[in-house]
Chain A
Amino acid sequence: MKDKIVHFLKTDSNISRLSLLLAVSVVALAIMEPDIFLTRDYMVSMLYLFPEFGILALGMAFCMISGGIDLCVVATANFSGILACIFMKTVLGDSKAQGPGIAVFCAAILLALLIGMACGALNGVLIAKLGIPPILATLGGSDLVMGLAIALTKGSSVTDIPPTLNMVGTHIFGNLLPVTLLVFIVCACFAAYQLNKTTFGYKLYMMGSNATASRYSGVDNEKTIMKTYIFSGMLAAVSGLLMCARFNTARADFGSSYTMQAILICVLGGVNPNGGSGKVRGIVFAVLILQVLSSGLNMFPSLSNFYKDLIWGAALILIIACNHIGNRLAEKRVTVKTGG
């Protein structure tokens, strides 16, 4: 077992760096503020918050592995959240009946997922069928989707949502396991399954590595791109529902900094921004690190919340620099060995 772990850490230097970083930050916080950090409530509150952007990051990771990027995730999240909330409000009206409530709730979730997939499909079409570079396609897609959301809500919030969503979304099983965490675990497992076990995942890595060669190897690139962005859109919808549940409202401009955070998590987690590599476990580690760091900041009331931005940005640049230096050293070793 020990050998296995050592081997695992050796083969994936990024993961070993990340786990070290996580361990250091946890230990540091535990030593500095043991009275706060080591309480159960505190731990639970950390676990409760991160899934919102963690799930976005999972979708983003798929797009980045494909060699693209999805700047539309936040817009998709809000749009599907808004539509789901409007749907529930309209169907249920003022009735507080419990029986039909559950059915409508399920239908609303399904609707949100479908809307998310539709937004993803829109981006997929723009990229795969029209050939627009992903940055621009999803940028335009984001404006389009967010524009629809703003127009639909006339720029204000959707309030007075039936309470089911908030109740379910903020529930914490046995005061230990938040529903949001459960949702994140399900999404992460599903993503890992897609990447490691299915031919879609296999083709995704290969296409991200060299799209021309994958076409010449019989991969249907268009289909793979479509699937990628639809998957990202679907996860965005899940995240959107979680946001609506937490705030108990829906708005077109929730989570505006989440795009940046999702990209950051991906890069931190070892997803190659040029495509072709990236692992779900890297994403999970990266999300945890960021959550621990930002929760840690919260423990120092003298520091404003804005330090998070500073630290996250610095972490991103630092990790990129570390990876770059690590790669350079590795390259040097190889060149000396083969003399090429």
Chain B
Amino acid sequence: MSDIMLQISQVSKAFGGVQALDKVDLEIRRGEIHCLAGGNGSGKSTLIKIISGYYKADSGTISVEGHDHSRLNPIEAIMSGIQVIYQDFSVFPNLTVAENIVMYDAVVSKKKLQNWKKTAETAKDTMDKLGIMIPPDALVEELPVADRQLVAICRAMVHDAKLIIMDEPTTALTRREVDKLFGIIRKLQQKGIAILFVSHKLDEVFEIADNFTILRNGKRVISDAASNVDNDKFVYYMTGRAIEKEHFTPKEIRKDKPLFEVRDLCLDKGFEHISFQVYAGEVLGIVGLLGSGRTELAESLFGLLPATSGEVFIDGEAVSIRTPQDAIKHKIGYVPEDRLTEGLFLGQPIENNMMLANIDALITKRKTIDWKTLHEHARAWRDELSVKMGDMDALITTLSGGNQQKIVLAKWLEIQPKVLILNGPTVGVDIGAKYDLHAYLHRLAEAMETAIIVISDDIPELIENCNRIIVMKQGRLTGEYSNKEVTEQELLNAVTAQKEAADEE
């Protein structure tokens, strides 16, 4: 038997004239951890769907353990040992841990009856093998996110998996949980199971992967050992251009009185004793991992999760923000983290998406909507942010991710914000639009009328765009850095350091 688990050669796939995959090769050996990286639209997800049998390749060959499977279907893929763990895990929230673990196997083996005793035994065996302890009769909806993922991994293991594909498994995990996950992945590796690990986080690739493959625009750019690549090369392969490090430096900062100030803000279970100031002309970065309380802080400043105690000042005046309506009244705008569910109205035209936040101000003397002004403003923002779009009445779904994000930004610029909070502003945004968004933020800061706060875990982005960065960890602020004096590595250490220390205790 050959050592090669999966061999993909010259696979192409097109959708309605657009080449999603163009003669891609991929080779994964038994027990190998292989990282697949690439930006949005690089063809990553298409490739995964072809390997798991959901799409049929237009041309090329796929062989699993030497058997040709060019017409793979989902059941065959599972039968030959390929398992996918989706980003949302695809576990059933309403069923128990044990049943979830056994479910795939039961369906594939065409069982008619459910044997509860055997279910419990199989689930326990599988969890024991990986050293996972989750109560088997707990409902999955009661579990924290990290445990749900472990359930999905166990489920993949039950059916004798030989290749497990993990689609961005770390996005929803805290650093500590990522470590646990990596521990499990190494255990799987020792059992001879190959892992295809989809991620575009460089540090993870270095940490866990043996080899990596990068896709861009449907083509394979490179496959190599993880030890042969460094940061700059990786970014170059991902984006196709060398990064020019440009650090935002404010032209002037008016230090007389902070435009926005938070004093000793606390939220039950969320964060405690948060204090910081933002001056006119500044872009403040708040860096923290998922679960550090960064999103809770942002939502609290915007009134979605009213703070339990503490004070907020705008222009030196204390303001009370208990609801998003209060926030808008005090000219606070919030570009949310999850664009699709929190920012966009998918069934609505572009213009409606753009004007909602300020709609109460766009009225005539007779309390009716001032459509004329509204149309004018919408067109002005389209030009100002150079949104690539057709008709204002077209649905928002016709725009690309980057242009959609510009529309969300325009929604908040329309209220003429004094404070603009952006949470993960360039997630899922293509390079061109990312550049536009950053450039606009710089211009906005230079107009000296808005306090800008960027919240993110994308350290290079923060260093590039924020003149001051504060670190958030376990609900507290733990440090402050200037972007000219801090390196990416230092900031990364600052974000993760204390957590690791806590783990060792």
| Chain A interface residues (CB < 8 Å from chain B) | 193, 197-199, 202-203, 205-206, 209-210, 212-220, 272, 276-277, 334-340
Contact = CB atoms under 8 A, between A and B. Distances in A.
A86 to B, nearest CB: 36
B334 interface: yes
Closest 9 CB pairs of A and B: A339-B18, A197-B368, A339-B16, A209-B345, A218-B324, A218-B328, A216-B342, A217-B356, A276-B347
Nearest to A196: B369
Contact of B345 (A198, A210, A340): A210
A340 B347 contact: no
B323 interface: yes
B352 A202 contact: yes
A287 B53 CA distance: 49
B241 to A, nearest CB: 25
B369 A198 contact: yes
B15 A340 contact: yes
Contact of A216 (B18, B324, B348, B398): B324
Contacts of A340: 15-16, 18
A272 B368 CA distance: 25
A217 to B, nearest CB: 5
Interface stretch (B91-99, B359-367, B429-437, B451-459): B359-367
Contact of B411 (A205, A209, A210, A217): A217
B18 A206 contact: no
A212 B324 CA distance: 12
Nearest to B363: A199
Nearest to A332: B16
A197 B334 CA distance: 27
B347 A209 contact: yes
Interface string B340-355: 0111111110001000
A220 B323 contact: yes
B356 A214 contact: yes
A339 B352 contact: no
Contact residues of A: prevailing secondary structure: helix
A193 B18 CA distance: 45
Contacts of A272: 347
B interface, by DSSP: helix, strand, loop or mixed?
mixed
A339 B14 CA distance: 9
A210 B356 contact: no
A250 B369 CA distance: 40
Contacts of B79: none
27 contacts: A198-B367, A199-B359, A199-B369, A202-B352, A202-B356, A202-B369, A203-B356, A205-B352, A206-B352, A214-B345, A216-B304, A216-B324, A216-B334, A216-B343, A217-B324, A217-B356, A217-B357, A218-B324, A219-B324, A276-B345, A277-B347, A334-B398, A335-B16, A338-B398, A339-B15, A339-B16, A339-B17
Nearest to B356: A217
A220 B356 CA distance: 12
Contacts of A199: 359-360, 363, 369
A216 B359 contact: no
B281 interface: no
Given A205-B352, A206-B345, A215-B324, A197 B357 contact: no
Contact of A213 (B323, B343, B367): B343
Nearest to B329: A218
B341 A210 contact: yes
B325 interface: yes
Given A210-B344, A217-B324, A336-B17, 6 more contacts: A199-B369, A210-B347, A216-B324, A216-B336, A218-B328, A334-B398
A330 to B, nearest CB: 11
B327 interface: yes
Contacts of B369: 197-199, 202
A276 B395 CA distance: 13
B44 to A, nearest CB: 15
Contacts of B304: 215-216
A226 to B, nearest CB: 14
Contacts of B344: 210, 213
Which of B18, B328, B348, B411: most chain A CB closer than 10 A? B348
A335 B369 CA distance: 35
A218 B341 contact: no
A227 to B, nearest CB: 14
Nearest to B15: A339
Contact of B357 (A209, A218, A338, A339): A218
Given A215-B304, A218-B324, A209 B359 contact: no
B325 A218 contact: yes
A319 B369 CA distance: 33
B357 A212 contact: no
In the complex, which of the residues A205, A334, A335, A340 has the most CB atoms of chain B within 10 Å of its own CB atom? A340
A206 B347 CA distance: 9
B379 to A, nearest CB: 18
A336 B16 contact: yes
A304 B261 CA distance: 74
Contacts of A219: 324, 356
A212 B342 CA distance: 6
B392 to A, nearest CB: 13
Interface string B353-390: 00011011001000111000000000000000000000
Nearest to A220: B325
A277 B328 CA distance: 26
Contact of B359 (A202, A215, A334, A339): A202
A152 B342 CA distance: 46
A213 B341 contact: yes
Contacts of A215: 304, 324
Nearest to B358: A218
A206 B348 contact: yes
Contacts of A203: 356, 359
Contacts of B367: 198
Contacts of B16: 335-340
A337 to B, nearest CB: 8
A272 B328 CA distance: 30
A217 B303 CA distance: 11
Contacts of A218: 324-325, 327-328, 356-357
Contacts of A338: 16, 398
Contact of A212 (B17, B341, B347): B341
